[in-house]
Structure 1
Amino acid sequence: MRNWIIKHDESIQRLLEILPGFVSWNIILFPYWGILVIPNVVAYFILSYNIYWFYQSAQIAISATISHFKIQASMAYDWLADLKVFPDWKKVHQVIIIPTYKEPLHTLERTLESIANQTMPKDQMTIALAMEAKEPEEDRLIKVKALESKYGNMFGNFLICVHTLLPGEAAGKASNERFAALEVKEKLIKKGKFPLEYTIVTSCDADHIYHKNHFSYLAYLFLDDPHRYERFWQPAVLFYNNIWKIPAITRITNTIGSIIHIALLGRKDRLINMSNYSLSFKLLDDVGYWDADKIPEDWGIFFKSYYKTQGKVEVEPLYLPIYADAAQGESLIKTLRNEYEQKRRWAWGASDDPWIIKNYFLTPGVPFWDKTLRVLYALQSHFLWPVHFFIITIGLQLPILLNPRFAKTALGYTVPKLSSFVLSVALVFLLIMLLLDRIYKPKRPKEFPLWRAILSPLEYFLMPVAGFFFSALPGLDAHTRLMLGKYIEYKVTEKV
């Protein structure tokens, strides 16, 4: 098998790129042709999918609730005091890589301010501002001058890394972070500024705001774990920085996404690092850093580490929130477009699947069941991304119009009723998500009318529309482009 895959690598790669779109399109279209040929199978399929959705909703609600209590405890706890119990805690050094391309100065200042307010001693922290050479030099230098003036002497090191895109590299976070990490190693670690074995590296988006305990908590988790060189640490990323400034239809998707991120902390079997995460610099160095030719970098670096350590790598929850910007533009249309493009870029994570699947067979020594479950979860997450809307929201309503005779049968009449009942009961879990949303969402600004805030729960009636335009459609777009070999280019989400 191994030799055959290596011999036919290009053909297999192309076939596996077709797979996500092939699967998602076939599942979506199945009810429409199946209702004419095997209507009973279609009915049971849709009912089963609704039950599966109910189960997933229950899991999210329960896990999010448990994670919520752990987050609240972690926010109040004195992690620095516990950290100081370790005799070697002073050796720990935090490297925060902040990839940035055309983000406005105030966005970067907000992120750096949250790092400056950490309980972790700042002399044990290095900022690596990872900039791109293709950004206009004048704009870049204005930001560098302002940030160095304000924060340059606040941390142990403040490194400006300017990445020039090389042939074979993909524009995006991965190539930028890789360059910055190598700069840190060359200019600081190799010169003895801090030891590689005690260095934690954090991938931080330019719009992220940390809780003040974040890096003390992270350092504690690092020292407390005997397998620290085989671990990632993942906080809950909440898209709440500008939640009151975006339209209702995108506020829904970002709210639900945020609560799901809280829930995932309680599911170690499904937790894979994303957006903002940390790992030991030693692990990053051992596995060869991020791949500069890829757009998706978070799941990519996880599976790269997972396979290179023969399945020993795990992601540990860090029970604290990180506040991030939701996609926004200067106008309503630009906001909707930015939201769509961001979700399409996330769905492009399916482009990692061919590499993940091939290495499932090519990498020896990884425990069979562990790698099987991890790969199946990755494929399920990617393949079903565009499917949920069509099966859950539309269900049998449209397909049954193609076969009105089946609608008059007992099964054709009963299944839509049962599906509706299952989804109605699942609304209980939505209430839990609404409660958590109220807890973590920033306070309503004065310019946001009180009456709109009171009526905000009614925004959830827009869920079907939001689900189509900002989940199903961008997911199908990404899958179809990958299937047809029309690869997307990385686009930084606009910051306002």
Structure 2
Amino acid sequence: GFFSWFFILVPIILALLRLETIFAIYIAFLVAYWFMRTLKFVIGVAIGYRRFQKEIKVDWMAKIKKEYPKEFEKLKFTYLCPVYAESLDVLEPSFEAFASSNVGADKIDVVFAIEEKKADFQKKNFEYLKKRFGGRFRSMRYYVHPAGIPGEVAGVKGGNINWAARHYVKDIEAEGENIEEYLLVTCDSDLRPHEKYLSAVAYKYFENGKERDNYYYASALHTFKNNIWDVPHIIRVQSNMLTLVLLYTWVMDKKQAIPFKGEEVYIRDTFSSYIVNLKTLKKFKFWDPEIANDDTAFYCNAMVRSKGTFKSQEVYIPTYNDAVQNKTYWKSHVSYYKQQHRWGWGSINVPTTYAALAHEKGEFPFWRKLIIFKYLFETQIWNLSIAFVLTFGLALMGIINPSYNFTVYAYNLAQLMSVVFTIITLLNIPLIIYRRKLLSVPEEWKWWRHILDFAEIIFITINMLTFGFIPYIQAKTELMLGLTSFKRNFYVTEKVKKNNQESS
């Protein structure tokens, strides 16, 4: 929190100290950084789209049967589905998608993770789902996560999946199963995988040979296709941008080389949905139920416990998820803000991971630690300030230090930013084109609606300065002020379908 506020307040600090030259250098650096990052973003999305086109055409099951028939015969999947108040409108399509996977539903165990507060409701849902899908899946079972366990964070799925996975592993080990033969899929209950997703992951898993269990596996195309055209504009723009950002990071920022060492550190952290071997999950002690953000926490924990050697493997087969949606237009935005605020609390992983890195000795080389340190610093602290500083930095400097307005820096920086931001805005056009290729727009759209689709570029900046900034800085400030002991309950993002919405 302190460092986030420091970088946000840099223009004010430099203005008060009348350090115009340092301010100009810093702003020029940010402009260059933002331009190169945007250019790299477009290139990464273009490469990712080509990989998607290639992989979606592959018959992964045919390749597996030809190259790894014995390994596949032993392999099984576990679909871990955490639920709170989701209705069958959400759950049934997800179960149907998993049951339709081309690896065969008879390869999939279903673990239904229920919160105690909604146990009666979800047990009825489970019985319905078991009646409909029980004959197709390998097995179906549920576990009820008790409410009010001391130390656990409420309102997030970490405690629920931690409880269910631990008990599931204990049970199947007692049944004589070899947990090394299981790949566990952890995701939100609304996720629907493409029919080739699990087979593509299985092939990549076998392809990684002896190191296969030291990886997590995920889709590089985490889309929000389920309801993307039903949600408010700013939520749709943010969700689509998140899809492209994740695709870009898998292509361009998956790993980083250690200079002069001939070694790479994998820095693409876990997000929302991923697949990991059950033996590996047990080795890394499952999930920490005391941390609000279970996804990033799992990656950080795995990197510390593996001495920085844990790796990631993507497939370019899509998964389909729900964007934030509630019963009314206003409630959708409130839910969205609360979700982003919860995500902002993921920065709690920074001090805990830094402390763990400092504590680790021996076989954990300094350079690996430094790359992990740098990655968390950039993504969790520094990047948050850039859009704010570039938008308001010049104005703040001019207001606080009026003499700055008459310097050569004031004129030249304004001219530079005008040109660069015009180019950056134009670079958003190919991004929208690729997004439209990855996620087709409704066929019934009129010509003017297609134009408006491109005009939604403006919401990218609005989101970066509102929902992409305010809830995050709120969370970091709460963490900085030591409110962790009070912040034990978070808002559970409601999953509401269009046909269940009230008139707004």
TM-score (norm. length: structure 2): 0.90
How far, CA to CA, are the matches of 2:458 and 2:292 in structure 1?
34
User: Which one-letter code corresponds to 2:76 in the other structure?
Assistant: H
Q: What SS does the aligned partner of 1:290 have?
A: coil
**1:168-317 equivalent positions in 2, closer than 5 A:** 168-171=151-154, 172-192=156-176, 194-225=177-208, 226-235=210-219, 236-266=221-251, 267-269=253-255, 270-317=267-314
For residues 378-426 of structure 1, the C-alpha deviation after alignment (integer angstroms, 9 at most, x for no partner) is: 1211113531231122231343233232112111110121122222222
* Counterpart residue number, 2:136: 154
**1:111-150 equivalent positions in 2, closer than 5 A:** 111-135=94-118, 137=120, 139-150=121-132
Deviates more, 1:342-351 or 1:180-189: 180-189
**1:446-465 equivalent positions in 2, closer than 5 A:** 446=444, 451-465=448-462
* Counterpart residue number, 2:5: 25
User: Which one-letter code corresponds to 1:441 in the other structure?
Assistant: L
User: Which one-letter code corresponds to 1:150 in the other structure?
Assistant: R
Q: What SS does the aligned partner of 2:309 have?
A: coil
* Counterpart residue number, 2:21: 40
User: Which one-letter code corresponds to 1:61 in the other structure?
Assistant: V
Query: Aligned-pair distance for 1:445?
Result: 6.4
How far, CA to CA, are the matches of 1:105 and 1:71 in structure 2?
31
User: Which one-letter code corresponds to 1:47 in the other structure?
Assistant: A
1:328 lines up with 2:308 in the alignment: no
C-alpha contact (below 8 Å) 1:265/1:318 kept by paired residues = no
For structure 2, list consecutive stretches of 5 or more residues without a partner in the other structure.
256-266, 497-504
Evaluate the alpha carbon distance shift between residue 119 and residue 466 of structure 1 in structure 2; reply closer, same or farther with a 3 A threshold.
same
* Counterpart residue number, 1:4: none
Q: What SS does the aligned partner of 1:200 have?
A: strand
User: Which one-letter code corresponds to 1:246 in the other structure?
Assistant: V
1:94 lines up with 2:74 in the alignment: no
Query: Aligned-pair distance for 1:443?
Result: 3.5
1:387 lines up with 2:397 in the alignment: no
C-alpha contact (below 8 Å) 1:340/1:469 kept by paired residues = no
How far, CA to CA, are the matches of 1:334 and 1:23 in structure 2?
32
C-alpha contact (below 8 Å) 2:115/2:144 kept by paired residues = yes
Query: Aligned-pair distance for 1:79?
Result: 0.6
C-alpha contact (below 8 Å) 1:283/1:305 kept by paired residues = no
Query: Aligned-pair distance for 1:442?
Result: 4.0
C-alpha contact (below 8 Å) 1:241/1:442 kept by paired residues = no
C-alpha contact (below 8 Å) 2:103/2:198 kept by paired residues = yes
* Counterpart residue number, 2:366: 368
User: Which one-letter code corresponds to 1:490 in the other structure?
Assistant: F
C-alpha contact (below 8 Å) 2:180/2:278 kept by paired residues = yes
Deviates more, 1:240-249 or 1:89-98: 240-249
* Counterpart residue number, 1:18: none
> For this pair of structures, how many residues does the alignment match?
473
TM-score (norm. length: structure 1): 0.91
C-alpha contact (below 8 Å) 1:126/1:157 kept by paired residues = yes
Q: What SS does the aligned partner of 1:366 have?
A: coil
Q: What SS does the aligned partner of 2:94 have?
A: helix
For structure 1, list consecutive stretches of 5 or more residues without a partner in the other structure.
1-20
* Counterpart residue number, 1:13: none
Query: Aligned-pair distance for 1:273?
Result: 1.4
C-alpha contact (below 8 Å) 1:385/1:472 kept by paired residues = no
CA RMSD of aligned residues (A): 1.7
For residues 289-314 of structure 1, the C-alpha deviation after alignment (integer angstroms, 9 at most, x for no partner) is: 11121111112111212221222211
For residues 255-294 of structure 1, the C-alpha deviation after alignment (integer angstroms, 9 at most, x for no partner) is: 2111101111113224111100011111111121111211
How far, CA to CA, are the matches of 2:225 and 2:393 in structure 1?
32
How far, CA to CA, are the matches of 1:450 and 1:132 in structure 2?
47
C-alpha contact (below 8 Å) 2:78/2:184 kept by paired residues = yes
For residues 206-226 of structure 1, the C-alpha deviation after alignment (integer angstroms, 9 at most, x for no partner) is: 111111101111111112212
For residues 57-83 of structure 1, the C-alpha deviation after alignment (integer angstroms, 9 at most, x for no partner) is: 122211121111112211111111111
How far, CA to CA, are the matches of 2:226 and 2:440 in structure 1?
8
Q: What SS does the aligned partner of 2:483 have?
A: coil
* Counterpart residue number, 2:502: none
* Counterpart residue number, 1:475: 472
* Counterpart residue number, 1:493: 493
Query: Aligned-pair distance for 1:450?
Result: 5.7
* Counterpart residue number, 2:433: 435
User: Which one-letter code corresponds to 2:483 in the other structure?
Assistant: K
Evaluate the alpha carbon distance shift between residue 434 and residue 25 of structure 1 in structure 2; reply closer, same or farther with a 3 A threshold.
same
